[in-house]
Structure 1
Amino acid sequence: MQSATDDIVSGIMARWAAAFTRLDAAGLASLYSRSAFFFGSNPTFYRGNDGVKAYFDGLPRWQSPSVEFTDVRTAQAASDVINVAGTATFTVEHGAEPLVVKITWVIVREDGDWKIVSHHVSSKTPLIRQ
């Protein structure tokens, strides 16, 4: 059974995926808090809606970008805070090898709406072998 928290997260993920497919930087930035912290696929640290928009504006203009979120886990950390972890599989061109990353978000209620306040992706390839 899907919880209200899962519904909030799946709604944000659906809007995120739709905006990514259009490479809509403003649409993506609108999903983030004005005080967002953002680590994407490059080493630069971005802040706030303007930083998030700058990140997405800087991406290549791929012909067929898409993303699929899988293995998503959610936890209501407080009444206005949701913790999210999962896998994001990005396909940017037909026939190209997909980019698969671990993704974490912290989502908060801001001005009555749910916004991503922390975004971090990292490699699925182990950095330390045990």
Structure 2
Amino acid sequence: MQSPTDDIVSGIMGKWAAAFSQLEAKALASLYSRNAFFFGSNPNFYRGRDGVQTYFEALPRWQSPYVEFTDVRTAQAAPDLINVAGTATFYVEEGAEPLVVKITWVIVREDGDWKIVSHHVSSKTPLIKQ
């Protein structure tokens, strides 16, 4: 049985995946806080909805992109704050290797709705061997 926190997160992930599959930059940006911090798959840092929209507008226009979220963990850090971690697997071109990243989001209640205030992805490939 899912918790209310899991339901909130899966709802946002569903909207995010649907907008990504259409490469709808404005729809994706609407899921973010006006104060969002965003680190995506390039080295640049983006701020706010305008920054998020700029990031998604600059992506290649793939024919059939989609994302799959797995290993998702959530924690209600405060009444209006949810921590999220998981894996995002991006399929962007048929026959191409998927891009698999670790993803973390911080989701905040803003103006009565839940918005992503922090977005960070990083490589699943180890940077330090132990």
Distance 2:76 2:7 in 1: 12
Structure 1 unaligned runs (5+)? Answer: none
- Offset, 1:82: 0.1
Where does residue 67 of structure 2 map in the other structure?
Answer: 67
Where does residue 99 of structure 1 map in the other structure?
Answer: 99
1:7 counterpart letter in structure 2: D
- Offset, 1:52: 0.1
1:57 counterpart letter in structure 2: E
Distance 1:127 1:93 in 2: 26
Where does residue 9 of structure 2 map in the other structure?
Answer: 9
Residue 56 of structure 2 aligns to a residue in which SS? helix
Residue 72 of structure 1 aligns to a residue in which SS? strand
Distance 1:2 1:109 in 2: 19
Where does residue 28 of structure 2 map in the other structure?
Answer: 28
- Offset, 1:42: 0.3
Q: How many residues align?
A: 130
Residue 36 of structure 1 aligns to a residue in which SS? strand
Identity rate, percent: 84
Where does residue 19 of structure 2 map in the other structure?
Answer: 19
After the TM superposition, which parts of structure 1 deviate over 3 Å for at least 4 consecutive aligned residues?
none
Distance 1:60 1:120 in 2: 20
Aligned CA-pair RMSD: 0.2
Where does residue 39 of structure 1 map in the other structure?
Answer: 39
1:81 counterpart letter in structure 2: L
TM-score (norm 1): 1.00
TM-score (norm 2): 1.00
1:90 counterpart letter in structure 2: F
- Offset, 1:40: 0.1
Residue 95 of structure 1 aligns to a residue in which SS? coil
